[in-house]
Amino acid sequence: MEILAFGVQSDEKPLMEKAFAGHHEVRCLDVFLNEDTAPIAAGYEIISTSVNATLNNRVLQTLAAGGAHLIAQRSTGFNNIDLEVAERLGLTVARVSYYSPYAVAEFAWTLAMAVNRRIVRASNRTRDFDFRLDGLMGRDLRGRTVGVLGTGKIGEAFTRIAHGFGMKLLGWDITENPACVELGMKYVDKERLFTEADLISLHVPLLPATEHIVGSAALRTMKDDAILVNSSRGGLIDTKALVSELREGRFTGVGLDVYEAEAGLFFLDKSLDVVEDDTLARLVTFPNVLVTSHQAYYTVDAVSQIIETTVANVLDYQAGRRSENVLVPSAPKS
């Protein structure tokens, strides 16, 4: 059987082909699944999608009509999938419920340190043989307060690094993580965390309850010299509200690996296009803002785990097994 995989990066393709070898053929496409590309999937029973795929009603209808029975998403997040429609159509949907949390946690710290120590500006200067230090002063993190929203596996890994820096630890989540408590984390309400933290990092999933969890009210209560990092989902931050605060000269730095309107932009070369997203265009002009294109997960370790789990999801589906990765259970069709 041949499996069709959408949104496969060039670095990811050999890992995909190696992982599926001996099980199935896999056809890797660099285009992302959306309403325009969904017809390509006609005749394929198993479809693998990336985090920026669009799996709305129309796309799912097209996939089902073309003979798809399994959607194996290569990510933990699934806010891009209309699960109710998938279930109504009899589609099985699986995701990757776990992969290396260190990839994302370490990258979140990379963003935090880069904006704190003005690394991008310093690098750009030295390329022009400008070796001045003016405007490059950062701050020690030791003794300062970090606020971690979401203390699951990634949040815990991020917290362990913060503990290594010697920071005071504040956390917020619906349940406390004993490992974080053991490190000295104090769980507080969101309002206190936003008010007291010198560095805030987001590690919660995007759900109706967490959409714009960092909105205008939260941004206004943050310290003027705070650092904000988001390596989870773009919709956690009200970007227009963030731009408004940045225009007032607030925040030491903002590191964003995700953006709430990234679909159709991230993972693509838009360097020769006119980007019509005025909010993003304004955001990247701020000297204290660093935007990367959803690459926090992108290590050979994490991607290999994601692909291996995707292979397991396919094999489980064919064998009629259900694991914790299945979001919409549906019996395999012969």
| Tokens of residue 38, six digits | 């969904």
Catalytic residue positions?
Answer: 233, 262, 294
Neighbours of 74 (CB within 10 A): 25
For tokens 């959803």, name the residue.
294
Q: Among candidates 23, 27, 36, 35, which has minimal Cα distance to 6?
A: 27
8-state DSSP, 234: G
Q: Among candidates 128, 89, 112, 122, which has minimal Cα distance to 167?
A: 112
H-assigned helices in the chain: 13-20, 57-65, 83-88, 101-116, 119-127, 153-165, 178-182, 190-196, 216-221, 239-247, 278-283, 300-319
| Tokens of residue 52, six digits | 């920026």
